[in-house]
Amino acid sequence: MSNQGTLFRQIPKVDELLKLPAVAKRLEGDSRAMVVEAVRQATEELREEIKEGRREQLPTQGEWEENILNLLEEKSQSHLRRVINGTGIILHTNLGRACLAPQAMEAVEAAASHYSNLEYDLEQGTRGSRYSHVTQLLKELTGAEDAMVVNNNAAAVLLILSSLTKGGEVIISRGELVEIGGSFRIPAIMEQSGSHLVEVGTTNKTHFADYEQAIDPERTVALLKVHTSNFRVMGFTQEVPLADLVKLGHAHNLPVIHDLGSGALVSLEEYGIKDEPTVQQSMQAGVDVLSFSGDKLLGGPQAGIILGKAQYIAKMKKHPLTRALRIDKMTLAALEATLRLYRDREQAVGNIPLLKMLSQTRETLTPKAELLAQKIAGTTHDCTVTVMEEFGQVGGGSVPTQMLPSMVVAIRPHTISPDELESRLRHCKIPVVGRISHDRFLLDVRTIEPEDFDLIGENLKACLARP
Ligand SMILES: *Cc1c(COP(=O)(O)O)cnc(C)c1O
């Protein structure tokens, strides 16, 4: 204790540390506040170490300088930065969901660094609509009467309910009272919109008659169907087909609303994904309004796309929330470019990273995994590398039961534990995120670009070189 007390008293003052040659030099180029903060943090960390008994001596001058420069290096890096996704989860929500197609990136760049006709009608020379850039395309691709877009699908659902069903009763199956994540739960959104939820059926089974009996000619204003995108109920189950629900709604003059969630614009059956409805199927069933995400199975930017009958879209455009939920110009640019690719399936599959990744099979992934394994083995001898069969996932709360047959590179470090390796790779300048299984660190090559293989090798080498 007394030794600890002595050590604490001997810790140099911030002003003294700022005079260390290497630190003083940084004061010339970097912001003073940032350097002072790094020095403060270095002394703070030392205090912690002393307190926990991990230190019995003060750092030498060289150590002080090194610690402070390392902290400065960390602080000068951008906080939001790219990572390498080795999880095999294509739409990893924590890693930013969908990556954009090159065409979308070009459009973002142009929209961001120049002026644009965002809300300017070039024909007339008058004020235009920000939705006009995607409305025509969405109509063409889906057969919808009209369309608009907002910030994300959560916003889309809130806007639809707020503008169409406020004050009235909305009927929904008990099997579809979904929580999307965070505090986005259908009953809560319903309440937020000022609509009243009427639950029908049970968790596993809801029949046509359940909806029919719940319709109150005075109070019911809509029927709502929510795609159970992030979970599946198996076994003794029944839901009412969308087309039947539409018939029922229309017989009673009620709009039928569909929250599709994932929103695939092309059938994903050829990639083995069978139970995911497409946007077009929902439109063809005759729903009045539907919405879906831009950055799930569409493979575009974060956005909420709303399609439907012109009279309902017009109502939504006039709602005050629309301004609060409005889509940004960079997002809009990326969305338009992504949608353009869907005019031709080959263009879409060839350019949209989500679809490219989905279309890879064990056959195409095997040589890719072998190449990465070779690169790693050629860069460092501090680990054993093998190629194995594994499973990845779509992620992003989409097709949750679908496992994607994949190939991984399994790394068994010689000098440190797999957990330590996992942690060190997360702390690299360009972090590599993977997972631990059977005492090995796994990298699923489905979600990794071959251009990054060298970088992964270098990162591994650096991480394994330290004891
Ligand atoms: C994902 C999802 C949402 C929310 O979409 P975001 O674009 O993430 O806001 C809403 N409803 C369903 C059914 C979903 O799957």
Q: What is the pLDDT of residues 53-94, one digit of tens each?
A: 888 899 999 999 999 999 998 888 899 999 999 999 999 999
Confidence check: pLDDT of 1 > 60: no
Q: Whose CA is nearest to atom 11 of ligand 1?
A: 261
Question: Between vectors from CA 250 to CA 249 and to CA 252, what angle results, nearest 5°?
Answer: 70
320: Cα separation from own chain's centroid: 27
Mean pLDDT of 7-29: 92
3-state secondary structure of 73: helix
Range 102-351: architecture per CATH: 3-Layer(aba) Sandwich (3.40)
Q: Whose CA is nearest to atom 13 of ligand 1?
A: 261
Beta strands 220-226 and 126-127: pairing type? unpaired
Confidence check: pLDDT of 125 > 60: yes
In the reported structure, the alpha carbon of residue 399 is separated from the centroid of ligand 1 by a whole-number distance in angstroms of 13
Q: Shortest CA distance to 460 belongs to which of 406, 385, 401, 350?
A: 385
**Residue to mutate, 293, 306, 325, 327, ligand 1, most ligand atoms under 8 Å from C-beta:** 293
Q: Where in the chain is the domain with CATH 3.40.640.10?
A: 102-351
Q: Number of helices and strands (H, E) in the chain?
A: 20, 17
Q: Which two tokens stand for residue 435?
A: 């997972």
In the reported structure, the alpha carbon of residue 264 is separated from the centroid of ligand 1 by a whole-number distance in angstroms of 13
Q: What is the mean pLDDT of the chain?
A: 95
Q: Which amino acid is at 41?
A: Q
- Map tokens 């709360």 to a residue: 397
**With 0-12 CB in 10 A as exposed, 13-18 as middle and 19+ as buried, what is 96?**
middle
- Contact (Cβ atoms closer than 8 angstroms) between residue 214 and residue 171: yes
Q: Where in the chain is the domain with CATH 3.90.1150.180?
A: 84-93+357-465
CATH fold of 84-93+357-465: Aspartate Aminotransferase, domain 1 (3.90.1150)
Residue 4: the pLDDT is 84
pLDDT in tens, 225-245: 999 988 888 899 999 999 999
**Considering only 59-63, 183-187, 359-363, which range has the smallest mean pLDDT?**
183-187
Mean pLDDT of 283-303: 97
Q: Which amino acid is at 336?
A: E
Alpha helices in 199-289 (DSSP H): 208-214, 242-251, 279-284
Is 303's C-beta closer than 6 angstroms to any atom of ligand 1? no
Q: How many angstroms separate the CA atoms of 337 and 266, rounded?
A: 16
Residues contacting 355, CB < 8 A, separation 6+? 266, 299, 348, 349
- What is the pTM for the complete model shown? 0.92
Among positive and negative, which fits the CA dihedral 328, 333, 334, 338?
positive
| Helix 21-29 and helix 61-76, axial crossing angle in degrees, nearest 10 | 20
Q: Whose CA is nearest to atom 2 of ligand 1?
A: 261
3-state secondary structure of 253: coil
Confidence check: pLDDT of 390 > 70: yes
Residue 2: the pLDDT is 60
Q: Give the model's confidence band at 209: pLDDT under 50 very low, under 70 low, under 90 confident, else very high.
A: very high
22: Cα separation from own chain's centroid: 41
Q: Give the model's confidence band at 463: pLDDT under 50 very low, under 70 low, under 90 confident, else very high.
A: very high
Is 156's C-beta closer than 6 angstroms to any atom of ligand 1? no
